[in-house]
Structure 1
Amino acid sequence: MDNKFSDHTQVAVVSTFSALMDTVFKDNINAACWQRALLGDFKEIVSKLQLKANLTDISMENLQALELSEKGHMARAVILSDFQLLTAAGASPSLNLIKSYERDEEFDFISTDVYSFHVDRSPIGTDTFLCTYYGAVSEILANHHAEQKVHVPEIRQQLKELYPATEEEFESFLSEHYFDLHYQAKPGATPVKLGLGHLWRLAVDHPDQQCLPCIHRAPLEKEGEYRLLLIC
């Protein structure tokens, strides 16, 4: 298989689920990709699922209840297998049918929704897993190609005007409101599109982490097209 992500020094490309789980995040490596060429008709699954909100969590029972063609069956088997593998590994996967995510429009100078480049944070050792089966795909960004929004002078100044306090109190304010989790791409930076069907494991910010957390974002959805996303 052509390792289309192997040129990106932050990404470890693997060919099995066990290798995905065994990849050590250290130094520059903060993302692992089980690169796959999936068989099956995921578009058929999307067309037969019912969107109940802009983001709808799809249960495995609802997925299994769908009447599908042979290729639809193949696609469903992939999703069920991914859920079984991740669940057995201690993760809690969910399947999302997405029209759009909620936008953060509180401030015009900084955004903290999932369309903004961000990292995930956890008090315990964990990882973020995701796989786009259908629709627009997520992106990651090398850490040296990004800058924390709270360190961009004009943004930081506006945040300080919003919350005038001691430096320690201000830093706590940034953390409590998740401003410090968000990044902007440096000029000339090229994000990595995660592609369809590949199962990704991304490093999270937690106390025992031996690398920088992986910076990622959700894509803007394509007009008239839903996304089918596994995430945990």
Structure 2
Amino acid sequence: MNNIFSDSSQIGVVSTFSDLVQTNFKGEMNALCWYRNLGGDFKEIVSQLSLEENITEVYPEDLIALKLSEKGNIARGIILNDLQLLTDFGASPSLNLLKCYERDDEFDFISTDVYSFHVDRSPIATDTFLCTYHGAASDIIANAKAEQKILVPEIRTKLKELHDGPEEEFEDFLKENYFDLHYQAHQDAAPVNLGLGHLWRLAVDHPKQEVLPCIHRAPVENEGEYRLLLIC
């Protein structure tokens, strides 16, 4: 399949939902992309939805109630189908209309919000699925091109000062505050933008995971534009 993601050893590309959920991660590959060129007018859907606070969950009945053009109706059908596919698979998808996520500005030397490169962690075997239909799309980065922030000497020193407790409890402190989930990209790193319309499956840190978790981040939103994002 000829597309912009084919050249990355981190990314596997599939052409069906069945392949997306059944293909095993292996080696450096910890991201799978169901590559799609979607028709339909997703902007029309966004323009008719109402935002409450900075993030609003959109339910199937909200979509069904919209009065849409032919292209808007095509876009709605795609979203509803994606939600159904994931639900039937056993996932719990959420469709979000969002202006922005909450920022973490508590510390000036480390950030733990979703705009920072990070991995997802779960106590059970699961994966992260996401698709951006409208607005800015997320980025991923190769694990070899990033370093855990807690291993950066100057950051680690400041975290130890913040901990101010017994040395043997320091690693637990890092996990309890999610500091260990966040990464700093190398200067020569080239993040891959996930684009619009593709449904992605990203590896999560869990006990049965055989590959490294996928490092990703939320994008800075485009000025005056909402994102429409499916995630679970």
Do the structures match in fold with TM over 0.5? yes
Amino acid of the structure 2 residue aligned with 1:60: P
SS in 1 for 2:87: helix
Can you list the C-alpha shifts for 1:87-111, whole angstroms capped at 9, x where unaligned? 0000000000010000001101100
Q: CA RMSD in A?
A: 0.8
Can you list the C-alpha shifts for 1:63-120, whole angstroms capped at 9, x where unaligned? 1100000000000000000001000000000000010000001101100000000000
SS in 1 for 2:9: coil
Give 1:3 shift.
2.2
Cα distance between partner residues in 1 of 2:168 and 2:9: 35
Q: Please name the residue that 1:20 is paired with.
A: 20
Cα distance between partner residues in 2 of 1:141 and 1:166: 34
Cα distance between partner residues in 2 of 1:2 and 1:9: 15
Amino acid of the structure 2 residue aligned with 1:98: L
Cα distance between partner residues in 1 of 2:167 and 2:83: 44
Unaligned stretches of 5+ residues in structure 2: none
TM-score, structure 1 normalization: 0.99
Cα distance between partner residues in 1 of 2:170 and 2:161: 11
Q: Please name the residue that 1:32 is paired with.
A: 32
Q: Please name the residue that 1:153 is paired with.
A: 153
SS in 2 for 1:118: coil
Tell which deviates more after alignment, 68-77 or 24-33. Answer: 24-33
Give 1:25 shift.
1.1
Identical columns (%)? 71
SS in 2 for 1:154: helix
Cα distance between partner residues in 2 of 1:22 and 1:4: 22
Q: Please name the residue that 1:61 is paired with.
A: 61
Cα distance between partner residues in 1 of 2:60 and 2:139: 26
Give 1:23 shift.
1.2
Cα distance between partner residues in 1 of 2:11 and 2:29: 6
Give 1:221 shift.
0.2
Cα distance between partner residues in 1 of 2:165 and 2:26: 36
Q: Please name the residue that 1:173 is paired with.
A: 173
Cα distance between partner residues in 2 of 1:3 and 1:34: 11
Q: Please name the residue that 2:71 is paired with.
A: 71
